Amino acid sequence: MLVKDSNSKVALHALDTLASILVDVKQEISLASLTLLVQNTAAGLASKNAEMYKKASNLLDAFINNLDHVLLFHPFVQVTVNATAKTKPDIIDRVSYLAKKVYSAKPKQVTLHGLPLAWNLVRSLSTTGSTAVLREAVADYIKNLYGLMGPGLFEYCSSAPDSNPQLVAMVRELSGA
């Protein structure tokens, strides 16, 4: 995909083109295409080129502003799992926003995809040298989930297949409960 082209001029042009046609083609984008678009656009967040970062960020926001949040939630979750340490906070913020928008209509979507991501992110804080920005993004995501689910968040965490007391304690701490 041209968005990931090593030639920054080509990649910038691809981002501009996609942004300009997004509204016109939004009804025609399949879930598979959407997943690839989100993945390839999110890769631009890792760019050292400030213009590339800005255009990729703006395009991800355009996806959120113009496309179905329920369809976007899973691709953004997938991108977060595989994101670099540099891009993860930006993407987590968007996943958190989408979780708020999706939960009222499709709570199971957040439970199936958003909670495993939360556990993964919390574990990564304790196993890697995470940055303050990443820790803050994860904490905001957990607080958001707690705001949506209340104490049920801890019940889900306790019953997760790979749960342990340390995970539950970290989730509780990050939630501010």
Q: Which tens digit of pLDDT belongs to each residue from 64-104?
A: 999 999 999 999 999 999 898 889 999 999 999 999 999 99
CB neighbour class for 53 (10 Å; exposed up to 12, middle 13-18, buried from 19): middle
Distances (CA, A) of 79 to 64, 100, 113, 169: 14, 18, 12, 26
pTM for the full model? 0.88
Other CB atoms within 10 A of residue 17 CB: 12
What is the C-alpha separation between 162 and 111, in angstroms, rounded?
Answer: 15
Q: Pick the residue with more confidence: 59 or 5?
A: 59
Rounded to whole angstroms, the Cα distance separating 170 from 122 reads 7
Neighbours of 71 (CB within 10 A): 16
What is the distance in angstroms between the CA of the first residue and the CA of the last residue of the chain?
44
Structure tokens at 64: 């959120």
Q: What is the pLDDT of residues 99-125, one digit of tens each?
A: 999 999 999 999 999 999 999 999 888
Task: Check residue 84 and give its pLDDT.
Answer: 87
